[in-house]
A and B are shown apart, each in its own frame.
Chain A
Amino acid sequence: DGGITQSPKYLFRKEGQNVTLSCEQNLNHDAMYWYRQDPGQGLRLIYYSQIVNDFQKGDIAEGYSVSREKKESFPLTVTSAQKNPTAFYLCASSWGQGTGELFFGEGSRLTVL
């Protein structure tokens, strides 16, 4: 079945450590996105990519980095520079035509101790 797979679902890390969240899709979508979800704040865009080897900053990119070496994969690294990394992270993909229909993964819950 086609879909988006995020891993791990739960992740605990010590403060100061970089962590990488995986996102893989087999929907043949061109565009991929990373959102951060915090209670009462909805979803905020971290980074997005419309094509392989290219990506753009979203609204809250500071402290995060991404790569898009393959169409299917869009990993997100939460660096030690991110001041408040504990959050729920959602990966999504779309055909990239600007029509807004996103397909989401199940999310990754990161807790920094």
Chain B
Amino acid sequence: AQTVTQSQPEMSVQEAETVTLSCTYDTSESNYYLFWYKQPPSRQMILVIRQEAYKQQNATENRFSVNFQKAAKSFSLKISDSQLGDTAMYFCAFISQGAQKLVFGQGTRLTINP
């Protein structure tokens, strides 16, 4: 069974700093997708960024980028120039291609301090 592990339960940085959230996963599949989801204090979960395993290029979305290391099964999220609105729970997630069930990590609570 696939598992997703986020080893940092909580992180805290100052506004404008860069922060990296870690995620590792375990799978025997070769085709899959990885995601970072953000859950702000308002509670509605939104997709931050997505990576297809077959793509070697790391995905980026504005200030958000990932470091995808397929051999190491690592998928970290980097937030550049962090903002107060980045304060949220961040969940790493995995799904095998064609599967229906997304597997989530335990989450990392990120606090951006002014």
Chain B residue, CB-CB nearest to A96: B100
User: In the complex, which range does the number of interface residues on chain A fall in?
Assistant: 20 to 34
A-B contact number at CB 8 A: 59
* B110 at the binding interface (Cβ < 8 Å): no
Q: Across the interface, which residues of A come within 8 angstroms of B44, CB to CB?
A: 104-107
Question: Are B45's CB and A48's CB within 8 A?
Answer: no
Question: Are B35's CB and A41's CB within 8 A?
Answer: no
Question: Are A98's CB and B91's CB within 8 A?
Answer: no
Question: Are B33's CB and A99's CB within 8 A?
Answer: yes
Chain B residue, CB-CB nearest to A48: B100
Question: Are A104's CB and B46's CB within 8 A?
Answer: yes
* A43 at the binding interface (Cβ < 8 Å): yes
Question: Are A100's CB and B106's CB within 8 A?
Answer: no
Question: Are A98's CB and B43's CB within 8 A?
Answer: no
A-B contact pairs, 9 of them (CB 8 A): A42-B91, A45-B102, A48-B100, A58-B101, A96-B100, A101-B50, A102-B47, A102-B102, A104-B44
